[in-house]
Amino acid sequence: MHDMIAILDFGSQYTPLIARRLRELGVYAVVHPHDVTAAQLAQPNLRGIILSGGPASAFEVGAPRPAAGVLALDVPILGICYGMQLLTLLDGGDVQPHAQREYGRAQIELSGGHALLEGLDEREFVWMSHGDRVTALAPGYVSLASTQDGVIAAIAHDAARRYALQFHPEVTHTPHGRQILRNFALTICGCRNDWSVADYLTTVSQDIQDQVGDNPVIVLVSGGVDSTVTAAILLKALKPEQVIAIHVDSGLMRAEESKAVMASLETLGLTHLHLVDASAQFLEGLKGITDPESKRQIIGDTFIAVQDAELARLNVDAEGAFLAQGTLYTDIIESGASGKQTATIKTHHNVGTPLVMAKRAQGRLVEPCSGLFKDEVRELGLLLGIPRQLIERHPFPGPGLGIRILGEVTCDRLELLRAADHIYLDELRHAKLYTAIWQAFAVLLPINAVGVQGDGRTYGSVITLRAVDSIDGMTADFHPIPFEVLARVASRITNEVPGINRVVFDVTSKPPATIEWE
Ligand code: XMP
């Protein structure tokens, strides 16, 4: 059994990152709701507890607190931001709102050596994101570092094995944050750092066998990384004849996508593999529709209808079968299964179709990636032999190109977008930018523009290029693609795709924009 650090989630958008950083260090970390009970936490492999940040003020009535007995567990505790304020108040110190709210980058100065800050320079940059401050240390605590204007940035009570940071070590804006988490987990908690996704595979395979037994499992493979890895895990854990994979080609896929998906699923050794070409049905449903929400609704409903028809055609005992889907750890944390403290809004989760809801209610939903972050899913996918090209693919929304064609979705407009998108991604790969970017795609606008090509005036379509950097799609910054790459993409698209005479680049972040245009 691997050593484990438990993270109590008080609602910071960064909470999942704490777990992710620890796992990158080889330490197994699990996020719990902030009010998880001491009995639930008191596993034999528990080595430490981290209290996350959060939007509340620790001194307010009703501010979230750990459950009774949690802080008395005999392991070291690290409070981060809100967690520091909480520890301070509970241990008899004081916390006040700070007149000058100091968000963002700050410089701290260390006041002496301490195991928690081992390996750091005397002065370090860190990332702050809370208005409240510790104004009086609780008895037994000493200050380990403070900012230039006197804000206490790190504290420790060695005898009680309690430690806290005002800033966020888990974000990359705190350059040595990872070192601090390492110091806490390995030195202070004494964790062994021997966890890897291969261990996850062993555990989850056993869980799947226990859950599913000899029953069939249906997996709907969209072609995205998560559902493909889900199928691969099922194959590893079960007999091939138990795994029924269905891929629906909605006609809203990128160039050559369905072909690539089918090919990679075949190499994995899937024997029950079914491709349903439903493009005509999707296009028919979308005829004349321009409203984004109506499009999403129609696409979602059509998926359900097509899947149901295929299951009936295959004569699968849909009642008795299990259903697998590629839900990720972040989906679980964000949708509130872990405590519903997160103040961020995320609207896209694995959809609650009637089939999914029924299977969940029956305990017949299998979600083998639900303990993993996106990067870990990718790593596991490679381990399971899925081609790198597929693993590294950018996220792709369920409604596909349907929400990247603004206005009506027609066969001709799909062809235009597919061709432009293909050129864009091709050039990004050539420029070695593709894997550095979180998500990039082309969007077909619902307007025409005047141009001149050859001797004649044209009145053609406009393509916009989008590229964003993000952690999990909740917020995003546009990626500054070098001008020469943009110029090459624009030149190739206007030359190679008849009907497009203008290419623009989207420089908005999320918020205020969303990543997709619809
Ligand atoms: P937005 O546009 O909301 O997108 O900023 C955030 C991330 O979610 C993806 N996305 C979807 N994924 N079904 C999905 O499976 C959807 O309906 C959907 N809409 C957006 C989007 O591509 C981005 O990665």
CA dist., res. 388 & res. 378, Å (int): 9
User: 473 — alpha (psi -120 to 50), left (phi > 0) or beta?
Assistant: left
Q: Is there an atom of ligand 1 within 6 Å of 516 CB?
A: yes
Please state, as a whole number, how many other Cβ atoms lie within 10 Å of the Cβ of residue 403: 20
CA dist., res. 87 & res. 398, Å (int): 43
Please give the model's pTM, rounded to 2 decimal places: 0.80
Of 125, 23, 24, 171, nearest to 475 by C-alpha is 171
Tell me, in angstroms, the distance from the centre of ligand 1 to residue 435's CA.
19
Query: Tokens 């009637």 appear where?
Result: 354
Q: Which residue CA neighbors atom 14 of ligand 1 most closely?
A: 397
Q: Is there an atom of ligand 1 within 6 Å of 292 CB?
A: no
Do strands 28-33 and 4-9 pair parallel, antiparallel, or not at all (unpaired)? parallel
Write down the pLDDT at residue 339. 42
Q: Is there an atom of ligand 1 within 6 Å of 515 CB?
A: yes
- DSSP-derived 3-state class of residue 283: helix
Which residues, listed in sequence order, are joined to residue 31 by a DSSP beta bridge?
Answer: 7
Measured from the CA of 296, which atom of ligand 1 is nearest? 17
Please state, as a whole number, how many other Cβ atoms lie within 10 Å of the Cβ of residue 446: 13
Of 236, 240, 220, 254, nearest to 393 by C-alpha is 254
pLDDT in tens, the chain (518 residues): 899 999 999 999 889 889 999 999 999 999 999 999 999 999 999 999 999 999 999 999 999 999 999 999 999 999 999 999 999 999 999 999 976 666 788 999 999 899 999 999 999 999 998 789 999 999 999 999 999 888 999 999 999 999 999 999 999 889 999 999 999 999 999 999 999 999 999 999 999 999 999 999 999 998 789 999 999 999 999 999 999 999 999 999 998 889 988 988 888 889 999 999 999 999 999 999 999 999 999 998 999 899 889 989 998 887 889 999 998 887 776 655 444 444 333 334 445 678 888 888 999 999 999 989 888 999 999 999 998 988 999 999 889 999 999 999 999 999 999 999 999 999 999 999 999 999 999 999 999 999 998 889 999 999 999 999 987 777 889 999 999 999 999 999 999 999 999 999 999 998 899 999 99
Q: Is there an atom of ligand 1 within 6 Å of 402 CB?
A: no
List the catalytic residues.
81, 168, 170
Chain length of the chain: 518
